[in-house]
Amino acid sequence: MNNAKLFGQIKEKGSFLCIGLDTDLKKIPPYLLETEDPQFEFNKQIVDATEHLAIAYKPNLAFYETYGAKGWTSLEKTANYIKERYPEIFLIADAKRGDIGNTSKMYAEAFLKNMPFDAITVAPYMGEDSVSPFLEFPGKWVILLALTSNKGSDDFQHIINVDGGNRLYQEVLTKSQNWGNKENMMYVVGATRAEKLEEIRKIVPDHFLLVPGVGAQGGSLEEVAKYGMNDSCGLIVNSSREIIYAGNDENFAKAAAKIAYDKYQQPMNNLLIEKGLLI
Amino acid sequence: MNNAKLFGQIKEKGSFLCIGLDTDLKKIPPYLLETEDPQFEFNKQIVDATEHLAIAYKPNLAFYETYGAKGWTSLEKTANYIKERYPEIFLIADAKRGDIGNTSKMYAEAFLKNMPFDAITVAPYMGEDSVSPFLEFPGKWVILLALTSNKGSDDFQHIINVDGGNRLYQEVLTKSQNWGNKENMMYVVGATRAEKLEEIRKIVPDHFLLVPGVGAQGGSLEEVAKYGMNDSCGLIVNSSREIIYAGNDENFAKAAAKIAYDKYQQPMNNLLIEKGLLI
């Protein structure tokens, strides 16, 4: 999957929505618990109902690991189902991995080779040799944490470097451009700091940004587009709980599709038109 | 598991060795590949042969995830085997997780509640609310990345904060002391920077430090002890590949035990005596 294909899908669907599959057995419709693989069944129905509205899905690894090997099987089935049925979908493993070189290599193989993910989120703390093993798979992507949407992002990400005056997240954006490029690297930038996107676009004008925090976490889609959209859209906006838990009965997938359409795809389509990206 | 129990085990065994279970099917004795669960079988034999020489084991998650649900099953079996057979052992999930609060909570449950790990390694980039959910399990530990042993640790960990003059890893050590304490938090400090341990001990005099990088990565055990040992030892030194891949035939576990004894437990015993911690 390259930058142009991703933009092609965005134009075709009039959407830059990623749906986060934070699939929690305590929150899914109870009737699904009687199926053989409730996590997979839930994901399958959500994806089938929303695939025309979203360009990406993002299983959150924690929600599968917590169910052990069984959860991992549900994850694998979900990933395989999506890529077999909807090969154009950009499939993100939200795993926030990162370790010394030989270990990052194993993580990279787990997600980008042994499973059909197109991308994986990676934490930057350990530096280049913890990130670069994920960049060795043609057509696959690293999505590096830069400025996250949570309160704790204040603790370290805003530290100002005495040498040059960059904040830590700006150092991450700047330095990592020597490791990858706009065809294999994106950045996580939280929507709760939408105004920061303007400044971030000066450092990474061409890279895609994965933007969590719209919806349940309070970020504004309009502000994200205003400050962050570039000439190839350059945005993948994620929403998880607000969409996938919109309903809690047999019609949950329809309810999810309605929220995805009303609150995301339609506004996104309009924002793309305003920007002159849809003809 | 509390600080005093850990120190008790160190005194009893004359060792502060952690053995890293980076169990790679390409590196284990080929005859094991014919067993039903080669990763578990390898780990079981390593643990049975070395448990009197080590106080901790540290499965590296990447090496299990790369084999999917099957690898996860091997991990669960390994963790359960160790805690059932050797309950005094300090069992570390080397997972380097860290995400927004509700996701970190799921990771914490996966490792500290659903599996019997005593501790998990956590990355600090996302700050307090990404770390604190791991601290909510009595008797369990967070091992927070501070100064890692890899080359990439130069990229961000040494950035000097314009406000106060601390380097990033010093900020992590300082700030995180408000989140946990010496009974539920340790720090990763790489042995390849042993001289830094002296300065780190001024910030965290009482906390345990998990020290990777001795052995295959080139760090010196003597220097680590010289600069890092405190009155309760305060060190857990990890070695992975050098020990577990010491042999490659039916006697591999004996070969591992010989390296663990000669290069780690015996020198560690002497270092503990020199420090006056063994009577």
- pLDDT score of A191: 85
Q: Give the span between the Cα atoms of A101 and A124, in whole angstroms.
A: 13
pTM beyond cutoff 0.95: yes
Q: How sure is the predictor about B217, in pLDDT bands with cuts at 50, 70 and 90? A: confident
Nearest Cα to B173, choosing from B124, B139, B226, B126?
B124
What are the chain B neighbours of A175 within 8 Å (beta carbons)? 155-156
Closest partner residue to A62 among B110, B129, B145, by Cβ? B110
Token pair recorded at residue A122:
């990676």
How far is residue B15's CA from residue B204's CA, in Å, rounded to a whole number? 22
Segments of chain A assigned E as strands: 17-21, 56-59, 90-97, 119-122, 141-147, 185-189, 209-211, 235-239
**Annotated catalytic residue within A96, A175, A254, A275:** A96
Residue A279 lies in a domain: no
Categorise residue A164: left if φ over 0, alpha if ψ from -120 to 50, beta otherwise. Answer: left
**Do you know the residue count of chain B?**
279
**B164 has a chain A CB within 8 A of its CB:** no
Note the pLDDT tens digit of each residue in B41-95.
999 999 999 999 999 999 999 999 999 999 999 999 999 999 999 999 999 999 9
Q: Is the pLDDT of residue B106 over 90?
A: yes
Residue A198's CATH number: 3.20.20.70
- Mean pLDDT, chain A, as a whole number? 96
| Domain presence at residue B192 | yes
3-state secondary structure of A18: strand
> Are the Cβ atoms of B150 and A101 closer than 8 angstroms?
yes
Burial letters B146-158, b for 16+ CB under 10 A, else e: bbbbbebbebbbe
Which residues, other chains included, contact B233 with Cβ-Cβ below 8 Å and sequence gap of 6+? B7, B10, B16, B272, B275, B277
Give dist(CA A189, CA A228) in Å, integer: 10
> What does the alpha-carbon distance between residue A133 and residue A110 come to, in Å, rounded to a whole number?
12
A131 touches chain B (CB under 8 A): yes
The tally of domains found in chain A comes to 1
pLDDT at A219: 83
Mean pLDDT value across residues A182-209: 94
Give the model's pLDDT for residue B213. Answer: 84
Pairwise CB contact (< 8 Å): A100 & B148: yes
**Exposure b/e, A135-152, CB count within 10 A at least 16 = b:** bebeebbbbbbbbbbbeb
Residue A15 lies in a domain: yes
With CA atoms as reference, the chain A residue closest to B69 would be: A69
**Spatial CA neighbour of A101 closest among A65, A71, A126, A119:** A126
Checking if the pLDDT of A122 tops 80, the result is: yes
Summarize pLDDT for B183-200 with one digit per residue, the tens: 999 999 998 878 899 999
Cα angle A40, A43, A46 (rounded to 5 degrees) comes to 150
Residue A215's pLDDT is what?
75
**Cβ contacts of residue B96 below 8 Å, gap of 6+?**
A97, A98, A99, A123, B61, B121, B122, B123, B145
Considering only residues 220 to 249 of chain B, which have any Cβ-Cβ distance to chain A shorter than 8 Å? none
Confidence (pLDDT) at B218: 77
Instruction: Mutation target for A interface from B63, B122, B125, B177: give the one with most A CBs within 10 A.
Output: B125
Encoded tokens for A144: 């590096």
Q: Which residue of A has its CA nearest to B113?
A: A66
Strand ranges (DSSP E) for chain B?
17-21, 56-59, 90-97, 119-122, 141-147, 185-189, 209-211, 235-239
Length of chain A, please? 279
pLDDT of residue A163: 96
**Does A193 have pLDDT greater than 80?**
no
Residue A92: inside a domain, yes or no?
A: yes
A194 band by pLDDT with thresholds 50, 70 and 90: confident
Say whether pLDDT at A279 is over 80.
no
Chain B CB contacts of A99 below 8 Å:
60, 62, 94, 96
Q: Is B101 on the interface with A (CB under 8 A)?
A: yes
Band (pLDDT 50/70/90 cuts) for residue A38 is very high
C-alpha angle A124-B116-B145 in degrees, rounded to nearest 5? 20
Chain B segment 183-222 residues within 8 A of A by beta carbon are: none
Q: What is the mean pLDDT of residues B174-189?
A: 97
pLDDT of residue B135: 98
Q: Which range marks the domain in which residue A83 is found? A: 3-274
Among the listed ranges A239-248, B88-97, B161-170, B208-217, which one has the minimum average pLDDT value?
B208-217
Out of A100, A152, A172, closest to residue B130 by CB: A152
For residue A213, is pLDDT > 90?
no
3-state secondary structure of A34: helix
**What number of other Cβ atoms are within 10 A of residue B84's Cβ?**
9
DSSP A57-110: EEEBTHHHHTTHHHHHHHHHHHHHHHHHH-TTSEEEEEEEE--SHHHHHHHHII
Mean residue pLDDT of chain B comes to: 96
Tell whether B38 is within 8 A of chain A (Cβ): no
- The per-residue pLDDT for B279 is 75
* Residue A191, burial from CB neighbour count under 10 angstroms (0-12, 13-18, 19+): buried
Residue B215 has a pLDDT of: 75
Q: Residue B27 in 3-state DSSP?
A: coil
- Please give, rounded to a whole number of angstroms, the shortest distance from the CA of A123 to a CA of chain B: 7
CA distances from B260 to B15, B24, B47, B210, B263 (A): 10, 19, 11, 17, 6
pLDDT at A235: 98
**Domain-located, residue B279:** no
In this structure, the number of other CB atoms found within 10 A of the CB of residue A85 comes to: 12
Is residue B182 one of the residues assigned to a domain? yes
How far is B128 from chain A, CA to nearest CA, in Å? 5
Contact B243, B19 (CB under 8 A): yes
**Domain presence at residue A146:** yes
- Predicted ipTM beyond 0.85: yes
pLDDT of amino acid A192: 83
Q: Strand, coil or helix: what is A36?
A: coil
